[in-house]
C-alpha cells in the first residue's frame, strides 16, 4: 500500500518527508524497525534498491544524530 502512495505522490510531483513520516509512525506506536522496513520495501518496489538504501541510510543518520544530540 505504501508503494502505491509513493508512486502516486511522485507522479503528482510531491516530495515525501521521510523524517516526518518516521517520527509520526513512532508516535503511532509503530516499532522503529517496522517503519524502516516498510519504507525500504516500498521504495525498492517503486525506485529500486539503490535509492531505497540511500533513503534508509539518511534516516538512520538522522536518528543517530538526534539520539546523540539528546543525550548531551
Q: Which domain holds residue 47?
A: 2-71
Whether pLDDT at 72 is above 80: no
Give the distance from CA 7 to its chain's centroid.
Answer: 14
pLDDT tens digit string along 11-45?
999 999 999 999 999 999 999 999 999 999 999 99
Confidence of residue 71 (pLDDT cuts 50, 70, 90): low
CB-neighbour burial class of residue 59 (10 A; exposed 0-12, middle 13-18, buried 19+) = buried
Instruction: Name, in order, each residue with C-beta under 8 angstroms of 51's C-beta and a sequence gap of 6 or more.
Output: 43
Whether pLDDT at 46 is above 70: yes
- Residue 52 has what pLDDT? 96
> pTM for the complete prediction?
0.82
Task: Output the average pLDDT for the chain.
Answer: 92
User: Number of folded domains in the chain?
Assistant: 1
Amino acid at each position: 500500500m505504501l508503494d502505491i502512495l509513493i508512486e502516486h505522490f511522485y507522479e503528482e510531483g510531491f516530495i515525501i518527508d521521510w523524517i516526518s513520516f518516521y517520527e509520526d509512525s513512532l508516535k503511532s506506536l509503530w516499532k522503529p524497525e517496522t517503519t524502516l522496513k516498510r519504507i525500504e520495501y516500498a521504495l525498492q518496489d517503486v525506485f529500486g534498491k539503490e535509492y531505497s538504501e540511500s533513503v534508509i541510510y539518511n534516516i538512520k543518520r538522522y536518528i543517530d544524530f538526534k539520539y546523540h544530540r539528546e543525550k548531551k
